[in-house]
């Protein structure tokens, strides 16, 4: 192929943005996640971040981060297997393991990288990965790179999962993968039942708790606490960039497996280690969640319920959800962007999900009201949704 042809094939088709006169992606933010967010110099109500507990701009986390910079500098400029590991890294992996109730953990630069690297490190062509049809791209793409049989099962459907398990007994190893809290809509996987089925069929469960850690469970410890799973024998992953308000992706589980990944996961060992200031920030965030989850969680749920109840009352088509995620059904990509545009005009930032992030014509606008917001801000947002409905 000629160079010219290559570049002709790889370009951004911006037809949708032109059609709607709006591009909600890559906005130019000029502030941190305070009560309001500054975009292009204007104040917005931010319902688009995954800052569930509202701690992304917490002074204590900032201080811990700055202290770590003073001690270690910005980076050790090495992969974790070289000299990228610090005492901060070692202590934090233990703290994260204790937090979620598992034996051992490692931290990748992102959960996308962790999920992407997991299956290639533990599965081969003779295995089968049974995966919830709406699982996150990072899990799906990771599974695809193995080149093994992939069996999607119907979303959160235990019967469909079992049918797939029954038909997978000829494979060397069965894996069952799912998200805990599904990020586009807020449904929660029936994970206790999934784990039981895995036991019955000798499968290894893999759960991505990115939107569950620091969010669900009595003490915010995520899906294992929420589903009351004791002695979990599977694999656990989670992003540290959502309720933990930092960056990175953890994989936790049995010590023997984690020790194996420390030496056999290319996505970990050939990538510059997550940096000391971030590690210190995560550590502080976990301390805050351990001490203050009740108050922060109550605020998060209160805002979620208030917003959700109001939207339903105004007649919005709101997806059923068991998490602090509220998604309004908007349909086609054009309609979804037009609704996001209307919100943006009225100074609300929300997250539009369009195909291929969601199935075609099943677009949604996702709202997450973090505990950093003030209650009057939620009231103002509700008023704006009312005005849009009445206009």
Partner 1 sequence: MENTDYKYKINPNTNLFTELNIDSFGKLMIVNAIEDEFSIEVDEDDIEKFATVNEIIDVLQSKYI
Are 266 and 121 spatial neighbours (Cβ–Cβ below 8 Å)?
A: yes
Kindly list the distances between the CA atom of residue 221 and the CA atoms of 96, 97, 245, 274, 275, in Å, as whole numbers in the listed order.
10, 11, 15, 22, 24
Q: Of residues 244-273, which lie at the interface with ligand PLP (CB under 6 A)?
A: 249
Among residues 235 and 358, whose Cβ is nearest to partner 1? 358
Least Å distance, CB 187 to ligand PLP, is 12
Q: Which of 65/210 has CB closer to ligand PLP?
A: 210
Tell whether residue 132 is a contact of ligand PLP (CB under 6 A).
no
Q: Does 175 participate in binding ligand PLP (rule CB under 6 A)? A: no
> What's the CA dihedral at 142, 147, 148, 152 to 10 degrees?
50
Contacting ligand PLP within 26-55 (CB under 6 A): none
Residue window 99-128: x/- pattern of binding to ligand PLP, with contact defined by CB under 6 A: -----------xxx--x-------------
110 binds, among ligand PLP, partner 1, none (CB under 5 to 8 A by kind): ligand PLP
Quick one: what does residue 361 bind among partner 1, ligand PLP, none, with the CB cut-off 5 to 8 Å set by partner type?
A: partner 1
Peptide bond before 356: cis, by omega within 30 degrees of 0?
A: yes
* Residues contacting ligand PLP: total by CB under 6 A: 14
Question: Is residue 210 a contact point for ligand PLP (CB under 6 A)?
Answer: yes
Binding footprint of partner 1 on the chain (CB under 8 A): 133, 140, 150-154, 163-164, 167, 356, 359-361
Whole-Å CA distances, 157 to 86, 162, 187, 364: 43, 9, 12, 21
Q: Which of partner 1, ligand PLP, none is residue 233 near (CB under 5 to 8 Å by kind)?
A: none
Out of 136, 221, 226, 267, name the contact with ligand PLP by CB under 6 A: 136
Which of 141/374 has CB closer to partner 1?
Answer: 141
Backbone dihedral angles phi then psi of residue 13, each to the nearest 5 degrees:
-85, 105
Query: What does the alpha-carbon distance between residue 311 and residue 111 come to, in Å, rounded to a whole number?
Result: 32
Cβ–Cβ contacts within 10 Å for residue 135, how many?
A: 23
The interface partner of residue 138, options being ligand PLP, partner 1, none and the CB cut-off 5 to 8 Å by kind, is ligand PLP
In angstroms, the CA 89 to CA 283 distance is 9
Segment holding 364, helix H or strand E: strand 363-367
- What span, in angstroms and rounded, lies between the C-alpha atoms of 381 and 23? 21
DSSP 131-197: EETT--HHHHHHHHHHTSEEEEE-TT-HHHHHHHHHTTTTSS-EEEEEESB-TTT--B--HHHHHHH
From ligand PLP, partner 1, none, interface partner of 356 (C-beta below 5 to 8 A by class): partner 1
CB 133 to partner 1: min, Å: 5
Interface residues toward ligand PLP, by CB under 6 A: 110-112, 115, 136, 138, 179, 183, 208, 210-211, 239, 241, 249
């Amino acid at each position: 192929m000629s160079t010219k042809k290559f570049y002709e094939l790889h370009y951004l088709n911006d037809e949708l943005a032109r059609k709607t006169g709006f591009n909600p992606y890559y906005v130019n933010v000029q502030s941190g996640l305070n009560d309001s967010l500054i975009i292009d110099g204007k104040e917005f109500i931010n319902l688009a971040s995954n800052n569930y507990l509202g701690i992304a701009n917490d002074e204590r986390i900032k201080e811990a981060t700055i202290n770590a910079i003073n001690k270690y500098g910005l980076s050790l400029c090495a992969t974790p297997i070289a000299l990228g590991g610090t005492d901060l890294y070692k202590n934090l992996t233990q703290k994260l393991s204790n937090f979620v109730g598992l034996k051992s953990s490692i931290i990748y630069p992102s959960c996308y990288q962790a999920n992407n690297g997991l299956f290639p490190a533990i599965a081969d062509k003779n295995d089968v990965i049974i995966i919830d049809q709406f699982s996150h791209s990072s899990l799906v793409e990771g599974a695809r790179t193995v080149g093994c049989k992939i069996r999607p099962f119907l979303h959160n459907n235990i019967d469909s999962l079992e049918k797939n398990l029954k038909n997978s007994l000829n494979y060397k190893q069965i894996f069952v993968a799912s998200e805990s809290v599904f990020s586009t809509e807020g449904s929660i996987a029936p994970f206790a039942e999934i784990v039981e089925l895995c036991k019955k069929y000798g499968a290894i469960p893999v759960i991505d708790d990115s939107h569950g850690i620091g969010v669900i469970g009595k003490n915010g410890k995520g899906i294992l606490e929420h589903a009351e799973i004791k002695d979990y024998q599977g694999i656990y992953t989670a992003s540290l960039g959502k309720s933990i308000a930092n960056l990175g992706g953890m994989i936790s589980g049995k010590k023997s497996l984690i020790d194996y990944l420390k030496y056999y996961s290319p996505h970990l060992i050939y990538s510059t280690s997550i940096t000391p200031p971030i590690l210190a920030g995560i550590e502080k965030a976990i301390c805050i969640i351990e001490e203050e989850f009740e108050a922060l969680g109550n605020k998060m749920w209160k805002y979620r319920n208030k917003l959700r109840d109001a939207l339903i009352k105004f007649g919005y088509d709101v997806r059923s959800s068991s998490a602090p995620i509220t998604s309004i059904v908007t349909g086609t990509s054009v309609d979804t962007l037009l609704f996001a545009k209307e919100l943006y005009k009225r100074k609300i930032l929300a997250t539009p999900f369009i195909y291929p992030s969601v199935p075609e014509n099943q677009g949604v606008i996702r709202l997450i009201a973090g505990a950093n917001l003030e209650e009057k801000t939620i009231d103002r947002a509700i008023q704006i949704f009312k005005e849009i409905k009445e206009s």
